[in-house]
Chains A and B, each alone.
Chain A
Amino acid sequence: MLEIENLSKIYRGGKVAVDKLNLDIKEGEFIAFIGTSGSGKTTALRMINRMVEPTSGKITLNGKDLTKMNAVTLRRSIGYVIQQIGLMPHMTIRDNITLVPHLLKWSKEKKDETARRLIELVNLPTSYLDYYPAQLSGGQQQRIGVLRALAANQDIILMDEPFGALDPITRDTLQDLIKDLQQRLNKTVIFVTHDMDEAIKLADRIAIMHEGKLVQFDTPDNILAAPANDFVKEFIGSHRLIQQKPNVKTVDEVMIKPISITIEKSLDEAIRLMVEKRVDTLFVTDGDHRLQGYLDVESFTGARKTKKSVSECYEKEIFYVKTGSKLQDSVRRILKRNLKNIPVVDEDHRLVGLITRANIVDIVYDTIWGDEEDVQEKKELILE
């Protein structure tokens, strides 16, 4: 879909920022450009929407040469998310989201409709549309920054270290969000980062750059398994290489059956269920078994007297993983966020399983002794 041929950027004074870059990016791919600072990754990215004019080389999008297009028209057709967020402080969130549609002279109705539809995608209330950026937290602002890049149905989104300025937990949440949006909306994303964990987590393919040259361009698994040279090996870091060696397990292999309750049940029923099953957390689902949130002891200790049903007091903010994701990623998340457990959902957001802290023990056990049968047994033991 997007082909980059012999793309070079030489600055005045002879500094070569990007040296004969060749890349072939497929539709719907999530590509990460990674490298140390000065490796040319940002310059390469900015040449795609001509924020930086290439010195030589060609970029073609579906056969069309981008270097010959009108730069303004081109930029309106490519989404761009920048590191420092860069929302317009004097515009409402609505106007910020629909900035590109405004430049494209969409009707007011169409813009409003777009803003409403988009803000729901990032789990922010529609009332925020009338707020100003200064009234939002950094993480919320960057969600709007991401929406701004999507508002005119751009197929390609460029992101220049979009989460660099955020705290680790917010960054983690936004990474999940962006990956989810990218898959759901089938966008092609080109992402610049210097964080290897971020690249491994998000990218379908990673382009490692060093001193303006492309060193390796492959899937995360292939890069971890076979680094092209010593630079790549060092860049990845030895701890990740080792981590990759044991058989990769998916969450499906170890997840247990979660205890869930539907949203319309009463609190008394919920408590009875907790006592009966001896658990402290219930997962709240709707009629179709789709995950809505969770209910734990803390969520109703204060509300017991005033609130009667599950729908009134369950927690809507919930972290989950999809079926088929790697077990070690979920474990990392449990540890990083200090979660007790993490539910597993399928493609339709239906609750299918649960990973608990006991799985961490499994992994440790597994990497030390590597005896799968034993782990299975032990898991059942924990369940009882």
Chain B
Amino acid sequence: MIAFFTENSSEILLKTWEHFYISMIALLLGVVIAVPIGILLSKTKYLSKIVLSITSVLQTVPSLALLALMIPFFGVGKVPAIIALCIYSLLPILNNTFIGMRSVNENTKGAGIAMGMTPLQSIRLVELPLAIPVIMSGIRLSAVYVIAWATLASYIGAGGLGDFIFNGLNLYKAELIIGGAIIVTVLALLADFLLSKLERWVTPKGLRIEGGRL
């Protein structure tokens, strides 16, 4: 096991980096797409139901199948992998953005409007800051999923830590499978930890001390 890490150290670093950036680009795209859509959906009544059910259905497509489906459209390599993973990351972020925006206290929103906020100001100054903790937990969830599923991206030639695992499967080398899996797990945990730090940082201070008296 230790031999696996020492002998392949440079390759491990490379593959880990590949794995990391495929996942992060997919996640970032997911955030950029899902958060604005989630905000818009929170302002609609019927459309939100339709869109959220479509994304739920997309979520149930087996990940391997989705990756394979990418090939006729985008070929093999990193691009189709990133697109597929991005689709996967959408639902938790979209869902949480929607719920976070909807669960902002009606009174607080009402107060903002009564003070003379435009709908856009209400989103920017009131709803979004208050929804941040919920949105962030959606992003964290997506990050863990995406890192785990990025392993499969190796199947369509995107590289990453999946290469070790698939090689291990082909060559009957348990240490490759286990070593790869360990690194994927550590990477997922690390990403979750870093994002939890980010969550603390972007959560407005007033929300963190809720209930705490001075």
Contact = CB atoms under 8 A, between A and B. Distances in A.
A82 B125 CA distance: 19
Contact of A88 (B112, B213, B214): B112
B210 interface: yes
Nearest to A74: B116
A72 B110 contact: no
A132 B114 CA distance: 21
Contact of B130 (A74, A90, A134): A90
Contacts of A133: 206
A82 B214 CA distance: 25
Contacts of A90: 129-130, 204-207
Main secondary structure of the interface of B (DSSP, over half): helix
Interface string A54-97: 00000000000000000011111100101011111111100000
A134 B214 CA distance: 9
A148 B207 CA distance: 20
A51 interface: yes
B110 A86 contact: yes
A87 B207 CA distance: 12
B206 A84 contact: no
Interface string B41-56: 0000000000000000
Given A72-B116, A82-B114, A132 B206 contact: yes
Contact of A91 (B117, B206, B212, B214): B206
A148 B116 CA distance: 12
Given A89-B207, A89-B210, A90-B130, A82 B116 contact: no
Contact of A132 (B110, B115, B116, B209): B209
A135 interface: yes
B121 A103 contact: yes
Contacts, number: 75
Size bin of chain B's contact surface: 20 to 34
A99 interface: yes
Interface in B99-139: 107-108, 110-118, 121, 125-126, 129-130
Contacts of B116: 72-77, 100, 103
A42 interface: no
Contacts of B112: 88, 99
Contact of B209 (A82, A84, A99, A134): A134
Of A51, A77, A80, A148, the most chain B CB neighbours within 10 A belong to A80
B211 interface: yes
B214 A135 contact: yes
Given A90-B204, A132-B205, A135-B213, A51 B113 contact: yes
A48 to B, nearest CB: 11
B111 A86 contact: yes
A86 B115 CA distance: 11
A49 interface: yes
Given A84-B107, A103-B121, A134-B212, A92 B206 contact: yes
Contact of A86 (B107, B118, B212, B213): B107
A89 B107 contact: no
B110 A134 contact: no
A131 interface: yes
Nearest to A127: B214
B209 A135 contact: yes
Contacts of B206: 88-92, 132-134
B121 A82 contact: no
A14 B209 CA distance: 46
A303 B206 CA distance: 37
A74 B213 CA distance: 36
B35 to A, nearest CB: 18
Contacts of A103: 115-117, 121
B124 to A, nearest CB: 11
A97 B105 CA distance: 19
A103 B204 CA distance: 19
Contacts of A86: 107-108, 110-111
A103 B213 CA distance: 29
Nearest to B210: A134
Nearest to B109: A86
A82 B211 CA distance: 21
Contacts of A75: 113-116
**Top-9 shortest CB links A-B:** A86-B111, A90-B204, A76-B116, A132-B206, A75-B116, A80-B114, A90-B206, A84-B107, A86-B107
6 contacts: A99-B115, A103-B116, A132-B205, A132-B206, A132-B209, A148-B115
Interface of A: 49, 51, 72-77, 80, 82, 84-92, 99-100, 103, 131-135, 148
Given A75-B116, A86-B108, 17 more contacts: A51-B110, A51-B113, A72-B117, A73-B116, A75-B114, A88-B206, A89-B204, A89-B207, A91-B206, A100-B116, A103-B116, A103-B117, A133-B206, A134-B210, A135-B209, A135-B212, A135-B214
